[in-house]
C-alpha cells in the first residue's frame, strides 16, 4: 500500500519493534525518519532510535523555528516575517513563534511592506508544492495568503523574501551523542527538475573559500545548538554575493556516503 500504511506508519514500527524485542531501530530515510513521534515512542519502550533525538527534530523540522534558531546562532537568514527576532538558550517560546508568523491578511500585508516584493508566502507544515505562493503585489499577497491557509489548514504561516537567481548549496553534518558535531563539506544541488535534485556537484565551486567555510561552520553551529545526533543536512541559498539559510533535513541523505 501507500507509505502511510508501512514505512511512514510510526505506530506500526513501534509495535513491531516492541513485539520483536529489538535493541534499536534505524528508520532509513522515509517519512518516519523525520517524525519526532518515532524516537519518542521508541524511547518509551526502552528502544534506541538510530537518528536525531525528538527534541532536535522539533527544533529544526519546523521552518519557522529553524529560521529563528539559525539567526540566533549567527547564520544568515533571508529577510522574512521573523527578521530581527532572537531567542535565548536556543529555546523558541510561544510568543516569539507567534510574532514571527502572520495571522491575517492585514498582518501579511504589513509584513510584506517591511520585506519588499517579490515574496514567498509559506505554510510551515506545507510541502510538495502545497501551502506556498509567490506574490508580487499587495493584491497577490492578499489572495495568496487566503490560498495558503486554505491548502494547509491550521498551519502557521510566514512570509519570506524571494531569493532570485540563487544556487542551492548544502552541507552534510554528522554528530554523536556526546556533543561532537562535524561537517562533511559542501554540495551544489542547483540542477533540479520539479523541485527535485538531479545532479549534485561536490565540493561547491560557485562560492569563494570564505563563503564555503561560513556555510560549513554555520551548519556545525546549528547542529550543536539543537543537540543534534546522527546524520543531517543544512541547506542554503546563494545569490553570488550573499548566502541565506533555507532549511534542515534531519535524516540521512544520499550525499552522506559520497
DSSP line for 120-179: EEEEEEEETTEEEEEE-SHHHHHHHHHHHHHHSTT--EEEEE---S-EEEEEEEEE-TTS
List all residues 6 or more positions away from 197 whose beta carbon is below 8 Å from its beta carbon: 168, 189, 191
CA distance 119 to 127: 17
Is 251 known to be catalytic?
Answer: yes
- Which grid coordinates belong to 25? 531501530
Q: In this structure, what C-alpha cell is assigned to residue 5?
A: 500504511
CB-based burial, 16-37: b 16+ in 10 Å, e otherwise: ebeeeeeeebebebebbbbbbe
Helix (H, G, I), strand (E, B) or coil at 242: coil
Q: DSSP letter for 32, please.
A: G
The one catalytic residue among 167, 187, 212, 251: 251
Per-residue cell: 47:
528502544
Kindly state the DSSP code that residue 202 receives in the 8-state scheme: S
For cell 563539506, name the residue: 185
Active site residues: 251
Amino acid at each position: 500500500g501507500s507509505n502511510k500504511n508501512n514505512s511512514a506508519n510510526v505506530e506500526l514500527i513501534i509495535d513491531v519493534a516492541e513485539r520483536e524485542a529489538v535493541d534499536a531501530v534505524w528508520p532509513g530515510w522515509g517519512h518516519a525518519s523525520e517524525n519526532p513521534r518515532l524516537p519518542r515512542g521508541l524511547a518509551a519502550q526502552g528502544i534506541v532510535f538510530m537518528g536525531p533525538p525528538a527534541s532536535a527534530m522539533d527544533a529544526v523540522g519546523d521552518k519557522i523555528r529553524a529560521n529563528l534558531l539559525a539567526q540566533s546562532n549567527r547564520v544568515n537568514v533571508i529577510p522574512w516575517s521573523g527578521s530581527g527576532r532572537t531567542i535565548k538558550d536556543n529555546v523558541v517560546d510561544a510568543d516569539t513563534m507567534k510574532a514571527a508568523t502572520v495571522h491575517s491578511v492585514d498582518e501579511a500585508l504589513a509584513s510584506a511592506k517591511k520585506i519588499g516584493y517579490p515574496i514567498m508566502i509559506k505554510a510551515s507544515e506545507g510541502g510538495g508544492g502545497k501551502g506556498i505562493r509567490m506574490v508580487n503585489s499587495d493584491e497577490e499577497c492578499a489572495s495568496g495568503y487566503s490560498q495558503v491557509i486554505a491548502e494547509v489548514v491550521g498551519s502557521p504561516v510566514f512570509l519570506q523574501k524571494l531569493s532570485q537567481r540563487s544556487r542551492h548549496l548544502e552541507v552534510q553534518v554528522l554528530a554523536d551523542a556526546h556533543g561532537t558535531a562535524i561537517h562533511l563539506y559542501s554540495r551544489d544541488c542547483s540542477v533540479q527538475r520539479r523541485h527535485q535534485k538531479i545532479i549534485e556537484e561536490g565540493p561547491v565551486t560557485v562560492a569563494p573559500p570564505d563563503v564555503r567555510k561560513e556555510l560549513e561552520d554555520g551548519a556545525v553551529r546549528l547542529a550543536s545548538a539543537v543537540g543534534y545526533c546522527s546524520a543531517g543536512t543544512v541547506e542554503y541559498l546563494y545569490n553570488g554575493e550573499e548566502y541565506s539559510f533555507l532549511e534542515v533535513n534531519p535524516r540521512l541523505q544520499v550525499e552522506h556516503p559520497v
